[in-house]
Structure 1
Amino acid sequence: MTVGDVVFSLQKAKDAPSMMSFYSDIDKIEAIDDETVRITTKKPFGPLVNYLAHKGAGIMSEKAVKAAGDNYGQHPIGTGPFMFDSWVSADRIVLKANPDYYKGKPAIDTLVFRVIPEGVNRTIALETKEADIAYDIDPIDHDMVKHHSNLTLLQKSALTMNYLGFNTEKAPFNKKEVRQAIAYAIDMDSMIAAVYLGAASKANSPVSPEVFGYNKDTKGYDYNVAKAKELLAQAGYPNGFKAKIWTNDNGIRRDTAVILQDQLKQIGIDATIEILEWGSYLDRLIRKEHDMFLLGWTPSPDADSALYAVFHSKNHGSAGNRTYYTNARVDELLDKGRETTVEADRIESYKEAQDIIMDEVPLIPLVYPDNNVGMQKTIKGFELDPENQHNLYPVSK
């Protein structure tokens, strides 16, 4: 790795539309000497150090990227403890230990990452010892894994916030009262019990408790059908309306959609569920074709990451603000929060922003799900990372 690779990689991240909210305030990235890179920001930028540790700022080989062109993703070169060996589309990626890694060769010679979309099949892979480690065990299998003589389940609060979003530029979801009514109509406790089997906590904010800037005093919405009906009537929809809930083919989201569909019937909203292929789902969100949609957001451990991309009006569409929410005061607060390095000032800005967002509810934070990993008891050295960026270098078996 050279300083040229660092400059190239950070510049590439800065120019990527999907990373705009993270790196757009960087002005210049310069190589000072063979071991030093200088980053100059346009103004004070509080979350910079956090964002430099984000996977979006991972360092790539400039030579390899330019040589491979659009096929670089199939021939990656890095500097970590494992080296790319082979890849079978939609099936597996194989890595080999890097004997020249600066901390020493890892204990594991070969890592095989298998793609197993169905949760039940991931659990079976653990039981049959086809897999040593399985990410995201379905809630229904938690107890079985916990009590299995050869397996163990690791659980930890995640940074993720799962939400129901609205197209705030489209009637009737352009009315705050309609969005609030839907928030009051959702029984989060029953959803957590039925969908997550208790492996989640009710969300009161778009910022999760594990993230810097979370405001525990921000008020969420308690289940109140009478209040929901009252708000719908105020908005001009006393008899409800028809709408669509979009989701992709994700088990948790599908189950959530079914529960939402049932609960919204209580206030006269006739919701149809549409399950979309992932690429089409994101593309149609950008084209603003949606009514309501289910997604999640996993930030870095900083409120700027949790809020700026999702709620700032600069980020409508693919950059993260898929509700097309616009609020000048929220924009101002989010700008203030990132344009100072004084933590107390940042916290105050994020507190007010969370309160405004939860009042206007362009999206409804539903739950903060737990992260989990099931693994063989013979595995040593694995630690569950709240961002799901698990370090496999110290792992042995």
Structure 2
Amino acid sequence: MKRYKRSGYLTGAALATAFLLAACTDDSEVDEGENGEETENGEEEEEATGEPQEGGDLSIAIQGEPVSMDPHGSNDVPSAKARSLMYETLVTQDPENFDLETEGLAESYEQTDDNTWVFELHEGVTFHNGEELTADDVVATFERVLDEEMASEAAFLFEMIENIEAIDDYTVEFTTEFPFAPLPSHLAHDAAGIISETAIEEDEAGELNLDIEAVGTGAFEFEEWEEGSSLTVSKNDDYWGEEANLDSVTYEIVGEDLTRIGMLENNETHVADEIEPTLTDQVEGLEDATLLNEPSLNMSYISFNTQEEPFDDPLVRQAITMAVDNEVLVEGVYEGYGEPAYGPINELVFGYDDSLDDLGYDPDEAEALLAEAGYEDGFETTLWMNDESAVREQTAELVQDQLSDIGIDVSIENVEWGAYLDQTAEGEHEMFILGWNTVTADADYGMYSLFHSDNFGAPGNRAFYENEEVDELLDEARQETDEQTREELYAELQQILVDDAPMIYTVFDDHRVGVSDSVENFVQLPDGRFDLADTYITEETEGDGY
């Protein structure tokens, strides 16, 4: 069994310059899993470093079904995993260090003044419908996501954009309402995938449904979606860049964890996604597969409805936070994978402050705080978790047990995923478990969405947390152009968000994926998506079961 090392990464401070560059450099990507690794024999070494093999149909068993193929539709990871193969953004981020790159549809870009950014497009790029990419498509894409009638969940990413103008066929100018340093990293987000203007018009006319189809410029194009079963994309033979090695990619939708692992063992899939921590030994025990374990940008959390009693009282929120032992959670539920979370972002994210004074685990102090808040006898509450998540179920049970020690009686309710998102967006919960993926690797995305009062509900603030000081600091930090000042503002914000405890920051989990040894150059990105640009399947080990 081959083994992959964890990718190296930089601290937030070292990443700082990546998000303020006015122009980008093109750094080559290094896959540590494929370079510098010891191998079992010379034959395997030759296979891993030889010429990529063309063809093959890659099967990936995923836990959650995508919600929408529309970049302006649902802002969820399962959808992004599929969409990112078909749609491309103006700029991209290096998965190792999050440097911004011009590997996307923009040949170059520059910031011409505090509020203006100009992007030069590659010429000769065609959409899957055969039409050439022009600046008009870029304008149409961003006008659509910002259209209030569209009501896109991703609109908050681009709300600072005041005007988008096509200067000529291949030049686009963005003007922001205020200086916004992280704009390029927002334009690398999955929701910034460029859609054909013609496809947008056809979607509006009812001639096309972008929710279940796709018209992008990516290396793969939409083929078929069998709801509840699978989604398939096929190689784009007219791709403007380097063509993919694979003929197609099929996402098999398999909610049961053991079934995904069984499919990997029986050569019924090449990749088993989202391996639960308690099941990693089963993947590591397979002869012809590898457990790929990579750090992520994903924070798991337990949120309160801060608009409702008793969670409108910071003392109650602090008490509950101090009654939950994150280290026990990581070791007991996550089997030692990931890291305990003590704030809303980790060291992968620009703006991270490693000097936070967290509340800590102190059940005695928690009881005292409850008494001070008038709940010396405790109270009853309900904790929601979504279905088909063993980790969240185990987390809920552990929290239920720990909170009982301070007199809080917790009932656990399992809610279907779609209803879960809808109901937490409407504030119908008391407590719930969810996660947030800071995909831009910038603190603005990691905190503005979750904690600014403008983002109640679906955009991210499902805690319905409202704090005027936090709002002001978030607004100031996203408009600040000085790198050091931004870091200082985010450090101040993180401490407030720890002390005020609108949620319990539980763990920064790793991405765990089981990969067949017949697959080479499979890359797990920190934001949960996959990079399949160089992926190929070796003929020698490809079985008939795929």
Query: What TM-score does the superposition give when structure 2 sets the normalisation length?
Result: 0.71
Instruction: Write the letter of the residue equivalent to 2:508.
Output: Y
Following superposition, the deviation at residue 235 of structure 1 comes to 0.5
Structure 1 CA distance, aligned partners of 2:500 and 2:189?
30
Structure 1 CA distance, aligned partners of 2:213 and 2:309?
46
Distance 1:96 1:17, change over 3 A: closer
**Pairing partner for 1:12 from 141, 144, 168:** 144
Deviations 1:138-181 (A, max 9, x none): 11221232242211111111101100101111111111111111
Correspondence for 1:394: 534
SS in 2 for 1:297: strand
Structure 2 CA distance, aligned partners of 1:104 and 1:167?
48
Correspondence for 2:160: 25
Which runs of 5 or more residues in structure 2 are unaligned? Answer: 1-132, 538-546
Contact 1:44 1:339 (C-alpha < 8 Å) held by counterparts: yes
- Mean alpha-carbon deviation: is it higher for 354-363 or for 137-146? 137-146
The equivalences for 1:377-392 within 5 A come to 377-392=517-532
The equivalences for 1:39-78 within 5 A come to 39-69=174-204, 71-78=209-216
Contact 1:205 1:219 (C-alpha < 8 Å) held by counterparts: no
Matched, 1:359 2:499: yes
SS in 1 for 2:519: coil
Correspondence for 1:322: 462
Matched, 1:375 2:519: no
Contact 1:205 1:215 (C-alpha < 8 Å) held by counterparts: no
Contact 1:92 1:112 (C-alpha < 8 Å) held by counterparts: yes
Decide which structure has greater helix share. 1
Contact 1:203 1:220 (C-alpha < 8 Å) held by counterparts: no
Deviations 1:348-367 (A, max 9, x none): 11000000010000111000
Deviations 1:333-377 (A, max 9, x none): 111111022211111110000000100001110000001221011
Question: Post-superposition, which runs of at least 4 consecutive aligned residues in structure 1 deviate over 4 A?
Answer: none
Structure 2 CA distance, aligned partners of 1:244 and 1:222?
23
Correspondence for 1:301: 441
Instruction: Write the letter of the residue equivalent to 1:10.
Output: F
**Pairing partner for 2:327 from 189, 196, 209:** 189
- Mean alpha-carbon deviation: is it higher for 212-221 or for 41-50? 212-221
The equivalences for 1:100-179 within 5 A come to 100-179=238-317
Contact 1:126 1:374 (C-alpha < 8 Å) held by counterparts: yes
Correspondence for 2:339: 201
Query: What TM-score does the superposition give when structure 1 sets the normalisation length?
Result: 0.97
Structure 1 CA distance, aligned partners of 2:220 and 2:193?
15
Instruction: Write the letter of the residue equivalent to 2:216.
Output: G
Structure 2 CA distance, aligned partners of 1:72 and 1:286?
23
Following superposition, the deviation at residue 74 of structure 1 comes to 1.8
Instruction: Write the letter of the residue equivalent to 2:218.
Output: G
Instruction: Write the letter of the residue equivalent to 2:290.
Output: T
Contact 2:359 2:499 (C-alpha < 8 Å) held by counterparts: no
Following superposition, the deviation at residue 222 of structure 1 comes to 2.3
**Pairing partner for 1:36 from 163, 166, 171:** 171
Deviations 1:300-328 (A, max 9, x none): 21000000010011111222111111111
Contact 2:384 2:429 (C-alpha < 8 Å) held by counterparts: yes
Following superposition, the deviation at residue 5 of structure 1 comes to 1.3
Following superposition, the deviation at residue 132 of structure 1 comes to 0.7
Structure 2 CA distance, aligned partners of 1:42 and 1:104?
37
Distance 1:167 1:384, change over 3 A: same
Which runs of 5 or more residues in structure 1 are unaligned? Answer: none
Instruction: Write the letter of the residue equivalent to 2:442.
Output: D
Following superposition, the deviation at residue 14 of structure 1 comes to 2.7
Structure 2 CA distance, aligned partners of 1:283 and 1:219?
34
Instruction: Write the letter of the residue equivalent to 2:397.
Output: V
Structure 1 CA distance, aligned partners of 2:358 and 2:259?
36
Structure 1 CA distance, aligned partners of 2:390 and 2:429?
20
Instruction: Give the total of aligned pairs.
Output: 397
Structure 2 CA distance, aligned partners of 1:332 and 1:222?
27
SS in 1 for 2:308: coil
Identity %: 39
- Mean alpha-carbon deviation: is it higher for 263-272 or for 375-384? 375-384
- Mean alpha-carbon deviation: is it higher for 62-71 or for 104-113? 62-71
Structure 2 CA distance, aligned partners of 1:373 and 1:84?
24
Matched, 1:210 2:342: no
**Pairing partner for 2:233 from 95, 101, 109:** 95
SS in 2 for 1:72: coil
Following superposition, the deviation at residue 17 of structure 1 comes to 4.2
Structure 1 CA distance, aligned partners of 2:330 and 2:421?
26
